[in-house]
Amino acid sequence: MKNYYKTKIISIFFAFIIFLSNTLTVFASDIDNNAKKTFRVGMECGYAPYNWTQPNNKNGAVPIFESSDYANGYDVIMAKRIADELNLKLEIVKLDWDSLVPALQSGTVDALIAGQSTTANRKKMVDFTEPYYYASVVVLVNADSKFAKAKGISDLSHASATSQLNTFWYDIALPQIPNVNKLSAQESASTMLAALDAKKVDLVVTDLPTAKSALAAYKNFKILDFTGNNDNFHISNEETNIAISVKKGDTELKNAINTVLAKMDKNDYDRIMDQAISAQASTLPNSFIQRIIYILDGYGFSFLRGAGVTMLIALVSTILGCIIGFAVGVIQATPTSKHDPIIKRVLLFIIKLILNIYVEFFRGTPMMVQAMFIYFGSAALFNFNMSMWFASFFIVSINTGAYMAETIRGGILSIDPGQVEGAKAIGMTHVQTMIYVIIPQTFRNILPQISNNLIINIKDTCVLSVIGTVELFYVTKGIAGALYTYFESFTIVIAIYFILTFTCSKILRHLESKLDGPDNYDLATTDTLAHTSGLYKYSESPKEEGL
């Protein structure tokens, strides 16, 4: 089974937050004691056969929280059973792998049923129930490969191999193959399988359920299972045991889940796993074009919704970001003179300093890290559980604002100072000058930059997948993970991204030329001037006078 070790940096980072939260706030879990409690379960929903995303509720799929998609798979079936037995209301929360443990620790979810193996490292972060699956390690090869007839791992000598990043498949099992040519690890199971399909590697190491699922998508693959053979991988139970995790110290929930698991045995688990694999039901066609049509047919609406979310976040955040940017940029460009009262100068200095810190901080840190920090940090530090939507708009807007502030400050400074003097000379105040003269011109000048930002935002919203925002990239990862159609899914999504950005850039270009107005102007006719006739005292045309 998929058994990532905890990504180290993130764990240190969140250990820090948890430390703060312990000293600052009361744990969220102590508060709720309602009658019909919800059971919030975190999983990736992108990892067949354990958990995947599908567009409908076929085969008993469960709706995903704050999404219109459904989750299904082994983990979902188990989650349903546990919720039923404990009389809880099940909520499936879709989260990125790296966000699972932080979400549990911050109280965003009650439990993780996500195929986690019970590694020592992870035991420090969470409490594990008894195992709910035992996953044996197998090898996947192309059926026409010279390794297809291997009888044990020593027959795989000198093969080039890979597996998934941060899994014991890659870190412990794979190196046991003698003289193996260990290539760098793949980010997800679907990329790992895509690499094998493209013959970039001779074999991949994975677990039996994953391998069985893969066969549905890749008919040219063959599973090499050396179970019972001495010439097999030597893996401890700790690694192959897959368990449910709860927040450290939540013994009540842990014991409750254990009583449910105690009613099942290994045969039940295998039966449920087979049920999940068959529910994944792949009647995937063989040709590339047909697969694309198949994906669009089944998941077209999911893509559209993902694209809609991406566009919504990008558009709203670009607009909000521009407003923030204009506010900050205008204040930053406010001149102070020695003749201003001291209070005004001090106040302006402090405000400018704060805004400077804001701009430098948000420009100077990656948006993905900010997303993790703000979304999970707000729950852990301040017990403020912001919604995924709020977090998404907030993070992208505040980032755009930081970039736009500098653009706008520069834009204001680049306007001819004569414009300000012209406005001053007819008695306009600084604020009036800004609103009616400088900002409109700055806006026109930086419109290409705004359009740049919008396009960047359309693309960069994909980092919000770390907090589980169901935007286009996240949807695509889910589909690729559910069907193991990595290349096909991303072919579709790259086309969608391009259409989105290209359309936006064309619309904004059109807006630019619209703002410039026509190149020609009409001379006013007598009609326009009619109402002033009679006021005109100086009718003689200017004479050429010899000077």
Binding site for another protein (CB under 8 A): 337-339, 341, 416, 418-419, 421-429, 432, 436-437, 440-441, 444, 517, 519-524, 528-529, 531-532, 535-538, 541-545, 547
Q: Which residues contact 228 (CB under 8 A, 6 or more apart)?
A: none
Q: Smallest distance from the beta carbon of 527 to another protein, in angstroms?
A: 12
Bridge-based pairing state of the strands 137-142 and 181-182? unpaired
The minimum distance between CB 417 and another protein, in angstroms, equals: 9
**Tokens linked to 518:** 């026509």
Which lies closer to another protein via its Cβ, residue 386 or residue 447?
A: 447
Q: 32 or 340, CB closer to another protein?
A: 340
**Could you tell me how many residues make up the chain?**
547
Name the minimum Å distance from CB 332 to another protein. 21
Give me the least distance between CB of 442 and another protein, in Å please: 10
Asked if residues 405 and 355 have their Cβ atoms less than 8 Å apart, the reply is yes
Q: Which is nearer to another protein, 297 or 540 (CB)?
A: 540
DSSP per position, 177-236: STT-EEPPPBSSHHHHHHHHHTTSSSEEEEEHHHHHHHHHH-TTEEEE--TT-SSS----
Closest CA to 101 of 120, 65, 125: 125
Give phi and psi for 244, each to the nearest 5.
-90, 140
Of 356 and 414, CB closest to another protein = 414
Tokens 């201003």 belong to 340
CA distance 432 to 427: 10
Q: Give strand pairing partners of 72.
A: 52
What is the closest distance, in whole angstroms, from the C-beta atom of residue 344 to another protein in the complex? 11
* Smallest gap from residue 404 Cβ to another protein (A): 19
Q: Which is nearer to another protein, 335 or 364 (CB)?
A: 335
| Shortest distance, position 429 Cβ to another protein, whole Å | 5
Q: Which is nearer to another protein, 228 or 341 (CB)?
A: 341
Q: What are phi and psi of 250, to 5 degrees?
A: -85, 65
Cβ-based nearer residue to another protein, 179 or 541: 541
- How far apart CA 345 and CA 380 sit, in angstroms, is 39
